[in-house]
DNA sequence: ACATACGGGACAGCCCGTTACT
DNA sequence: AGTAACGGGCTGTCCCGTATGT
């Protein structure tokens, strides 16, 4: 009547930690190979977790992916775009920092996996409405932060009048597309070139 | 005692047509659900082709996908971007037409599947070098056509001096990103907004 | 509104029994048709086991075959050769019993499938090193038991001096070859004839 | 209306040569991986022949294997056993030469694939009566040549009276088993040891 | 909370053989 | 005599999810 498990595995009974580990691994894999090309078994093995444990926390693969989007992809966009822009002296400056930060990160890694938001948006948003909604929320937050910065620039008369929403969209579009092209090129060049040319446009608005 | 095959289908021995049918179906599916989410069986059934026949023409799924990229995705980019730009009076005009054409197509369809090049680039170019190379070729062709148009505009003094290559990259980036966002929005709006704002930038160059 | 599974089978969660059933069926099939001519589906169906269950216990066909060699072929050689020889009054007697036992078994069955060790050794030991190693272990154990018996015969001066290792090898060779020829003949005759002639040789050693 | 083939392959129109090439390749593969583990496609590719051509000469895989047995395996046994025994001064001498020849051949090759007759006998003779019959014919021929030599030795009073048929069977059994064990050992040792010990037995008969 | 055992069904790829055609 | 196109069916493996048990 011993209570210890029959074989190997140590049982930690730390649900928070387990959840975190699983999501971390899943985030990395979904980012690296995509959602469909990643099997639950890969995640299990990598996280050092058994099926029972995982399915206790995440009843389906989809549920896990939604958690990844909410708890990892969202925060990452906030970290790489929203915060830098908010802290920056101007929208121009914020965009420059964000692009630059990502480009440097790509160069450090040596290979280009692309942006998690972009990857999942392309792979999943047409296939499943729940995924799409969750992804869309992040795009919205991102867009709002950029538009807000542009509007505050205008309010403080640092730049000429423009359609802040449209310009924010252009910034996001060009970033997203650039990172896709960087992935196809396996180089940060498209990202850097796009940044340079986009900043020329933004710079032209400065009074 | 009939002499026709007992339970088989009628054989036509028309390899070209069979190849065409398979690639067509595969192109649609890869575009709609992505490469990994599409099973060979789906393609078989949809194309009305047997396993043996398909295997004869495309020994692996990858081989089929490479054929799709070469024979369907490439031509489609040529049709929607390269030709319109070439025929247009100016780069500004070409970009406007291309964006407009795609936006109208999206609205006609009712749902947004995204751009085949973009979808496959995101899903496959980090996972497999052969895919990446093939995709990259299309990007290159697209970029060259745009840059060439910009340079000819400059040569004919229709626009101010700019870095044609960088500007072409920006156009491609913003288009690619816009279509991704349109997919996440299931609406042509991000595409139209991006187009509007991008064209403002291009318009500013016109003398 | 019953609470039992809608269409599934009853689950017993008896891994030992399930493993046993699968290995039993596999052993019979590998013996009857050979490893390569036996499909996993045959084994599934015959053992009344689902793919998932089998995959859980034996991730590959090879793994299953290794288990068959260890848990069925080895014991069978022990039963038909090693134990009879150990229990026998002399090596001569042991060899006689072993050959006789197998010959009688063949006649009872009506058809000759050969010796499992021999069959797998021929089919697999050149193709895969892991198989070979596992098979070789059984040969070694067999050889040791025979040589030990011969040496004890010599020690007790029941037989003349001979190279016990070499003689043990000859016994094994002639048995293995005889059973192969019995298979080709579908008759126990080659086995009986070989036994008779081999025992003449062994008998000549008796003082 | 040109008559030349559309693509690559050169057409030689030399049926004899084609047949020979196919059988050669098949013999090597059946010997190396076994009948069931060898695919027709491997043979096709290796022989540089198309499916149609092969199936023109051999309607089924089985038919091809039967041809291999008749035209390659049989002759090889004749070459390695029957002729050496016939030419030898005595049965003792013939057996010595045959074993020695094979052992040297194994050492030259570096790895042990076993004896083609033995391999096919084990893999196929229980599964298919046609194979068995064809294989059995070779065993019979082999047996007759050995028994005849032993009888002529007796007639010329070189050896004591023995049951020539039984002794021939023992020789064949021990050779067959020895080569199987050599395969499992991936060494010529079991063959050499068996030969040594068997020749002691035969030597004891010499007057 | 978590681990093992298990259910079914799908996956890409390969099999042997045949048929249309030159 | 020989080629390429093609027909179906089957292979081993792996999938996601659930049930049982501790």
* Residue range B108-119, pLDDT digits in tens: 999 999 999 999
> Average of pLDDT values for C53-72?
98
**Given this model, what pLDDT does residue A8 score?**
42
CB-CB neighbors (< 8 A) of A205 in chain B? none
**C18/C16 Cα distance (integer angstroms):** 5
CB-CB neighbors (< 8 A) of B190 in chain A? 169, 173
**C97/C171 Cα distance (integer angstroms):** 13
Question: pTM for this one?
Answer: 0.92
Name which of A150, A170, A169, A91 is nearest B201 in CA terms: A170
Q: Which two tokens stand for residue C198?
A: 């081999």
**Cα dihedral B194, B200, B203, B205 in deg (nearest 10):** -100
- pLDDT tens for A146-192 read 999 999 999 999 999 999 999 999 999 999 999 999 999 999 999 99
Which residue stretches of chain C are H helix? 15-33, 40-47, 51-57, 61-68, 74-77, 83-87, 91-109, 116-124, 129-155, 164-185, 189-203
Put simply, the chain C residues between 122 and 151 with a CB less than 8 A from any chain D CB are 122-123, 125-127, 132, 135-136, 139
Does D126 sit within 8 Å of C111, measured CB to CB?
yes
Q: Is D193 on the interface with C (CB under 8 A)?
A: yes
pLDDT bucket at C33, cuts 50 / 70 / 90: very high
Name which of C65, C99, C78, C122 is nearest C192 in CA terms: C99
Does A181 sit within 8 Å of B127, measured CB to CB?
no
Residue A206's SS3 state is: strand
pLDDT bucket at B1, cuts 50 / 70 / 90: very low
- Check whether C5 has a pLDDT greater than 50: no
Residue with CA nearest C1' of nucleotide F3: D52
Q: Which residue of D has its CA nearest to C167?
A: D197
**Given this model, what pLDDT does residue A16 score?**
87
Q: Which nucleotides of F are covered by protein (CB under 7 A)?
A: 1-22
- Check whether C6 has a pLDDT greater than 50: no
Q: Which residue of B has its CA nearest to A111?
A: B126
Name which of B191, C82, D51 is nearest A170 in CA terms: B191
Closest nucleotide (CA of D59 to C1')?
E17
Put simply, the chain A residues between 98 and 117 with a CB less than 8 A from any chain B CB are 111-114
Burial of A150 (0-12, 13-18, 19+ CB in 10 A): buried
**Given this model, what pLDDT does residue C54 score?**
97
Q: Which residue of C has its CA nearest to D203?
A: C201
**D192/D105 Cα distance (integer angstroms):** 12
pLDDT bucket at A6, cuts 50 / 70 / 90: very low
Closest nucleotide (CA of D17 to C1')?
F1
pLDDT bucket at B2, cuts 50 / 70 / 90: very low
Give me the A residues in range 46-75 that sit within 7 A (CB) of strand E.
49-53, 56-57
Q: Is B198 on the interface with A (CB under 8 A)?
A: yes
Residue with CA nearest C1' of nucleotide E11: B39
Q: Report CA torsion sign: B53, B57, B60, B62.
A: negative
**Given this model, what pLDDT does residue D35 score?**
98
Does D32 sit within 8 Å of C36, measured CB to CB?
no
**Cα dihedral A54, A58, A60, A65 in deg (nearest 10):** -110
CA distances from A103 to A79, A114, A183, D80 (A): 14, 11, 12, 71
**Given this model, what pLDDT does residue D69 score?**
98
Closest nucleotide (CA of C14 to C1')?
E5
Q: Hey, what long-range contacts does A147-153 have (CB within 8 A, 24 or more apart)?
A: A149/A85, A149/A86, A149/A88, A149/A90, A149/A91, A149/A94, A150/A91, A153/A90, A153/A91, A153/A92
Using CB atoms, pick whichever of A132, A177, A196 lies closest to residue B186: A132
Q: Which two tokens stand for residue B22?
A: 């398979």
> Average of pLDDT values for A80-90?
97
Q: Which of A14-18, A106-110, C31-35 has the lowest mean pLDDT?
A: A14-18
Residue with CA nearest C1' of nucleotide F2: D53
**C185/D142 Cα distance (integer angstroms):** 14
**Given this model, what pLDDT does residue A15 score?**
84
Tell me the β-bridge partners of B206.
B159
Instruction: Name residues of chain D where pLDDT drops below 70.
Output: 1-13
Q: Is the CB of B15 under 7 A from strand E?
A: no
Q: How far is A95 from chain B (nearest CA, A)?
A: 15
Q: Chains touching chain A at 3 or more Cβ pairs under 8 angstroms?
A: B
Query: In chain C, what percentage of residues exceed pLDDT 90?
Result: 92
Residue A54's SS3 state is: helix
Buried b (16+ CB within 10 A) or exposed e, C121-132: bbbbbbebeebb
**Given this model, what pLDDT does residue C9 score?**
66
Q: What is the 3-state secondary structure (H, E, C) of A88-125?
A: CCCHHHHHHHHHHHHHHHHHHHCCCCCCHHHHHHHHHC
Residue B205's SS3 state is: coil
> Average of pLDDT values for C83-104?
97
Residue A141's SS3 state is: helix
**Given this model, what pLDDT does residue C86 score?**
97
**B127/B136 Cα distance (integer angstroms):** 14
Name which of B79, B82, B53 is nearest B142 in CA terms: B82
CA angle B111, B112, B113 (to 5 degrees): 120
Residue with CA nearest C1' of nucleotide F11: C39
CA of A134 to C1' of E13 (A): 37
**Given this model, what pLDDT does residue D14 score?**
73
**B118/B123 Cα distance (integer angstroms):** 9
**Given this model, what pLDDT does residue A12 score?**
60
Q: Is B197 on the interface with A (CB under 8 A)?
A: yes
- pLDDT tens for B155-175 read 999 999 999 999 999 999 999
Closest nucleotide (CA of B12 to C1')?
E20
**Given this model, what pLDDT does residue D13 score?**
63
What number of C-beta contacts closer than 8 Å exist between A and B? 156
- Check whether C56 has a pLDDT greater than 50: yes
CB D138 within 8 Å of CB D73: yes
Q: Chains touching chain D at 3 or more Cβ pairs under 8 angstroms?
A: C
Q: Which nucleotides of E are covered by protein (CB under 7 A)?
A: 1-22
- Check whether C125 has a pLDDT greater than 50: yes
CB D188 within 8 Å of CB D106: yes
**C70/C63 Cα distance (integer angstroms):** 11
B161: how many CB neighbours lie within 10 A of its CB? 8
- Check whether A203 has a pLDDT greater than 90: yes
**Given this model, what pLDDT does residue C207 score?**
72
Q: CB-based contacts of D89: which residues, under 8 Å, 6+ apart?
A: none
CB-CB neighbors (< 8 A) of D136 in chain C? 184-185
- Check whether C22 has a pLDDT greater than 90: yes
**Given this model, what pLDDT does residue C11 score?**
75
């Amino acid at each position: 009547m011993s209570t210890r498990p029959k074989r190997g595995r140590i049982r930690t009974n730390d649900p928070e930690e387990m959840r975190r580990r699983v999501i971390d691994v899943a985030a990395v894999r979904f980012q690296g190979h995509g959602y469909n090309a990643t099997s639950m078994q890969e995640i299990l093995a990598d996280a050092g977790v058994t099926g029972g444990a995982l399915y206790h926390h995440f009843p389906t693969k989809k549920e896990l992916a939604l958690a990844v989007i909410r708890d990892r992809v969202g925060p990452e966009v906030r970290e790489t775009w929203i915060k830098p822009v908010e802290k920056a002296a101007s929208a121009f400056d914020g965009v420059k920092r964000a692009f630059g930060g990502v480009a440097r990160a790509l160069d450090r890694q040596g290979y280009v996996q692309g942006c998690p938001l972009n990857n999942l948006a392309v792979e999943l948003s047409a296939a499943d409405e729940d995924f799409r909604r969750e992804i869309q929320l992040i795009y919205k937050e991102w867009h709002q932060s950029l538009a807000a910065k542009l509007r505050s620039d205008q309010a403080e008369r640092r730049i000429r009048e423009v359609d802040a929403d449209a310009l924010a969209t252009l910034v996001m579009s060009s970033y997203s597309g650039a990172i896709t092209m960087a992935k196809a090129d396996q180089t940060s060049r498209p990202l850097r070139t796009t940044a340079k040319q986009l900043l020329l446009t933004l710079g032209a608005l400065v009074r």
